[in-house]
Amino acid sequence: MYRYDEFDRDFVAARVVEFGDQVARRLSGELTEDQFRPLRLMNGVYLQLHAYMLRIAIPYGTLNARQMRKLAHIARTYDHGYGHFTTRQNLQFNWPALKDMPAILAELAGVEMHAIQTSGNCIRNVTADHFAGAAADEAADPRPYAEILRQWSSAHPEFSYLPRKFKVAVTGAARDRAAIRFHDIGLQLKKNVAGETGFAVFVGGGQGRTPIIAVKARDFLPERDLLAYMTAILRVYNLEGRRDNKYKARIKILVSETGADEIIRRVEAEFEMLKDGALALPDADIAAIQAYFAPPAFIERPGGVALVRQARLDDRGFSAWLERNVTTHKHPDHAIVTISLKGVGEVPGDATAEQMDAVADLAERFGHDEIRVSHEQNLVLPHVARADLPAIYKGLKTAGLATANAGLATDIIACPGLDYCALANARAIPVAQDLSTRLAARQDDIGDLKIKISGCINACGHHHIGHIGILGVEKKGGELYQLTLGGSADENAAIGEIVGRGFGPEEIAGAVETAIDVYLAHRLSPGETFIDAYRRLGATSFREALYGSAAAAA
Amino acid sequence: MQVLTANRLIDGEAVWLAADHSWTDTIDAADIARDANAAQRLADIGEASRRANAVVDVNLIDIDLIAGRIAPKRLRERIRASGPTNRPDLGKQARPLAAIAA
């Protein structure tokens, strides 16, 4: 894992002191709210419905046991004993007091964490494939490059006042687990025919009120050119992105209004001037960062296969969990464990302080001290021996974290919605809880299905890219839920289509069940997933079942 | 009918303006404006309090009186007055002087 050097430590420590002073001046009245607001946002502090909210960065979703325990400690000491893992691999506390923020940030700095650039019109926390460094299918670990981008983008003087926020995601595998085509810039690490490392570069993707799939700017950008090319894109965006209308200020609007070819031409022209200059990444620098992310020393544990086989025979619960929540690791005696934060009827992404501690203990005992946060609001132990899986399952079960539902219908993404968020128009959490309870019994039969729920058009709950997406809106003082079908966040990126009029809060779960029933009735075999069936069938039969045949014909 | 709401600066707690010009943390104790003049009077007091850095995000909200209790018209404000609907153990609804359920 990356460890802070002297520069990082000083930078974060200086920020804690600076923000502590700003909070003190705000509380004394020396700063007005108008003056303070941009300062608090630069440090991840929002004001929500019931209290302030603090969004803590978990760079590329990687943390160790000590850091997780610190989050648990903060949850207990300054909050109500829990935290919320988000779709940007961050952690949000829902109840901290403004007066406690300096103390919380000081605690975080003690474990090399912070809340810098988790808000504001800057380059946000860089996200990455949550299986990075462990997945059998990756070309290389994307996190060293995410770390290079973190260092480059932190308090970057040219890019601290962009037209709007800017999100970057990196993956090292062709199979996209990081939704890179729905980011301002998405990077896919790959090897060319000569075996050299580089990136496919996607630009101009995003969700929100105008969902757009990113266009490919480069099929192969050599790794040494990463920062020069990023700078070229950001520079074109910073100069030409709209500042007159915040709803049209993201780079996706610039790309679609100007035309992808023209924007790429301008980026390439800018890049020509920058390449081979000070921004070129020397091999030695890349290697130095890569050294921090060197895989742990995997010990051969060939006994795991037999042990796991016996445990499956002994315990059906373990067997189901193994099938859903354990993924192939690049080392044959090892595995990747997805820890579901989606127990039946629970709040997606919420974890109690006790659960955080339990995960930290398991990571330390069995997982080379590594934990990941996934954008699907689950946790991951990326490196565990197969022989330890039964013990890990037991530990997770004790902590209430052994739900065997990764990728199933109850593995729902939901934003905090109107239960917490000042921007929300409708609740998302209770809809997720209701659906989870209704679908739990038959989710194994339904198979792979991604349901994603947002409480407003900003789409933190990724509704546009759910196989089934739900968007909550406010209508006549009440909640109304729009249903979208056919979205997909992966390499076969698609934006879901709205199938018809919205549903009331009492109807939406039933509508989702209706859509699922259509799928079950029409699938060619249990092997044909919901999204595959939807792509084959189109919207008509779903629309007919949801609204009647007259509506389907309209 | 309207009441004036805000969030307390120091901890973000949702508060409402009471008849004695203090900020109360239960909506039941809020002072009700029954006409535009009364609403303006609340807003003026709130603005002074905002300038004195006691509160932020000061807003007049529409309410009904249901069985004698203040009920905000918007769900958002009902949730602010009670707490997260999925966590009855948190927020004002968890306290002895519970506000109305959302």
Tell me if domain A134-290 and domain A413-553 are identical in fold: yes
Which CATH architecture is the domain A413-553 placed in? Answer: 2-Layer Sandwich (3.30)
d(CA B10, nearest CA chain A) in Å: 5
CA distance, residue A386 to nearest chain B CA (Å): 37
Count of other CB atoms within 10 angstroms of residue A416: 27
pLDDT higher than 60, residue A138: yes
The confidence score (pLDDT) of residue A476 equals: 87
Which of B16, B61, B64, B90 is the mutation pick for testing A, counting most A CBs within 10 A?
A: B90
What digits encode the pLDDT tens for the residues A415-436?
Answer: 999 999 999 999 999 999 999 9
- pTM of the model as a whole: 0.96
Q: Hey, what CATH class is A6-109 in?
A: alpha beta
Element (DSSP H or E) covering residue A432: helix A429-439
d(CA B100, CA B81): 7
> What is this model's ipTM?
0.94
Which of A342, A346, A418, A506 should one mutate to test binding to chain B, selecting the residue with the greatest count of B CBs within 10 A? A418
Residue B100 reports pLDDT greater than 50: no
> Which of A31, A45, A49 best probes binding to B when mutated, by most B CB atoms within 10 angstroms?
A49
Cα distances (Å, whole numbers) of residue A444 to A68, A309, A346: 31, 21, 18
pLDDT at site A117: 94
Nearest to B7 among A32, A47, A80 (CB): A47
Over range A443-451, report the average pLDDT: 98
Strands A197-203 and A215-222: antiparallel
> What's the pLDDT score for residue A147?
97
- With beta carbons under 8 A apart, name residues in chain A contacting B79: 49, 418-419, 427
Domain enclosing residue B15, as ranges: 2-101
Size of interface A-B (CB pairs under 8 A): 75
Q: What CATH class does A304-398 carry?
A: alpha beta
pLDDT score of B101 more than 50: no
Contacts of A526 (CB under 8 A, 6+ apart): A445, A447
The pLDDT of residue B9 is above 80: yes
Determine, for residues A49 and B79 on separate chains, whether the beta-carbon distance falls below 8 Å.
Answer: yes
Domain count, chain B: 1
pLDDT of A180: 98
B46 interaction partners in chain A (CB closer than 8 Å): none
Rounded to an integer, the average pLDDT of A338-366 is 98
Predicted confidence at residue A216, as pLDDT, reads 98
**Which of A27, A424, A433 faces B86 most closely, judged by CB atoms?**
A433
Q: Does B95 touch chain A (CB under 8 A)?
A: no
Q: Which long-range contacts (CB under 8 A, 24 or more apart) does A435-441 make?
A: A435/A409, A435/A410, A435/A509, A435/A512, A436/A342, A436/A344, A436/A345, A436/A346, A436/A410, A436/A412, A437/A344, A437/A345, A438/A509, A438/A513, A439/A409, A439/A410, A439/A513, A439/A516, A440/A344, A440/A345, A440/A405, A440/A410
Token pair for residue A517? 């029933």
| Residue B102 confidence (pLDDT) | 44
User: What average pLDDT does this structure show over A240-252?
Assistant: 96
Superfamily per CATH, domain A134-290: Sulfite Reductase Hemoprotein, domain 1 (3.30.413.10)
**Residue B41, min C-alpha distance to chain A (Å):** 22
Q: Is the C-alpha dihedral spanning A189, A191, A196, A198 positive or negative? A: negative
Per-residue confidence (pLDDT) for residue A550, from 0 to 100: 58
The predicted structure's pLDDT at residue A477: 83
Nearest chain A Cα to B72, which residue?
A477
A401 pLDDT more than 50: yes
Q: Report the gap between the CA of B55 and the closest CA in chain A (Å).
A: 9
> Which of A29, A98, A430 faces B85 most closely, judged by CB atoms?
A430
**pLDDT per residue over A60-78, tens digit each?**
999 999 999 999 999 999 9
**Is residue A551 very low, low, confident or very high in pLDDT (cuts 50, 70, 90)?**
low
Chain A residue with the nearest C-alpha to that of B5:
A49
Q: Among A466, A482, A486, A467, which residue's Cα sits nearest to residue A537? A: A486
pLDDT in tens, A162-186: 999 999 999 999 999 999 999 999 9
The answer to whether B84 faces chain A, any CB pair under 8 Å, is yes
A13-22 average pLDDT score: 97
Q: Which residues of A touch B (CB under 8 A)?
A: 26-27, 29, 32-33, 47-52, 80, 95, 97-99, 347, 418-420, 424, 426-427, 429-430, 433, 474, 477-479
For residues B31 and B17, is the Cβ–Cβ distance under 8 A?
yes
How far is it between the farthest Cα atoms of chain B? Answer: 38
- Pairing between strand B14-17 and B2-8? antiparallel
pLDDT digits (tens, 9 = 90+) for A263-273: 999 999 999 99
B37-96 residue pLDDT tens: 999 999 999 999 999 999 999 999 999 999 999 999 999 999 999 999 999 999 999 987
- Kindly report, residue by residue over A281-319, the tens digit of the pLDDT: 999 999 999 999 999 999 999 888 899 999 999 999 999
- Is A80 in Cβ contact with B9 (below 8 Å)? no
Where are the domains positioned within chain A? 6-109, 134-290, 304-398, 413-553
Kindly give, in sequence order, each residue whose CB lies less than 8 Å from that of residue A449, ignoring residues fewer than 6 positions away. A407, A408, A409, A443, A467, A468, A516, A529, A530, A531
